[in-house]
Structure 1
Amino acid sequence: MHPDLSPHLHTDECNDITLEFMNCNVEHKFSRFFGRCDKVYDRMVHCFHLERKAKQLHNNENAIKRQDFVRQKILEEMRQDRERVL
């Protein structure tokens, strides 16, 4: 099962492959059931996989930055609390 095929969700490269897959399905209404469009479909799924991996790496980097920011804030608050006690 592939993700949503909306163009705004994918890169231009994947959109081109998706368009090629959709055209293959339209042009070959019956032979698509016998594997006519399988190679294009495999390329499309592979492209989506690469997009998903790139998003995952980007999100992981952002998460690490957010976690570092939160840690810094917590440490600052702990230092301020210690100074108030002393």
Structure 2
Amino acid sequence: MHPDLSPHLHTDECNNLTIEFNNCNVDHKILRFFGSCDKAYDRMVNCFHLERKAKQLQNNENALKRQAEIRQRILKEMRAEKEMGIIDD
């Protein structure tokens, strides 16, 4: 099953492939059941897959950056507490 086909959720390339697939379904009302639109569908789904992978990689990079920032903040707070004598080594 493919994701939501709303244009604001996808790149222009995937939107063009979605339009191509929808036009194929409209143009071939009966033949679509016999595979005439399968190639357009496969290209559309592949584009969605590539979009999802790109978003996944971007989210992973962002998560690593956030985790590094949190570690730095925790270390800074631990150093401050150590200097004030709140915690011992």
Common fold: TM-score over 0.5: yes
In 2, the alpha carbon distance for the partners of 1:12 and 1:55 equals 15
Matched, 1:15 2:2: no
TM-score of the pair, normalised by structure 2: 0.94
Structure 2: 5+ residue stretches without partners: none
Q: State the shift of 1:23 in Å.
A: 0.3
Aligned to 1:26: 26
Q: Deviating runs (4+, > 3 A) in structure 1?
A: none
Per-residue deviation at 1:22? 0.2
Correspondence list, 1:3-82, <5 A: 3-82=3-82
Kindly, what percent of the aligned residue pairs are identical?
A: 73
TM-score in terms of structure 1 length:
0.98
In structure 1, the gaps of 5 or more residues are: none
Distance 2:79 2:36 in 1: 66
Opposite residue 35 of structure 1, the aligned amino acid is: G
Q: CA–CA distance in 2 between the matches of 1:49 and 1:35?
A: 21
Q: For the aligned residues, what is the CA RMSD?
A: 0.9
Task: Report deviation, 1:69.
Answer: 0.3
Inter-partner Cα distance in structure 2 for 1:33 and 1:81: 69
C-alpha displacement of 1:77? 0.5
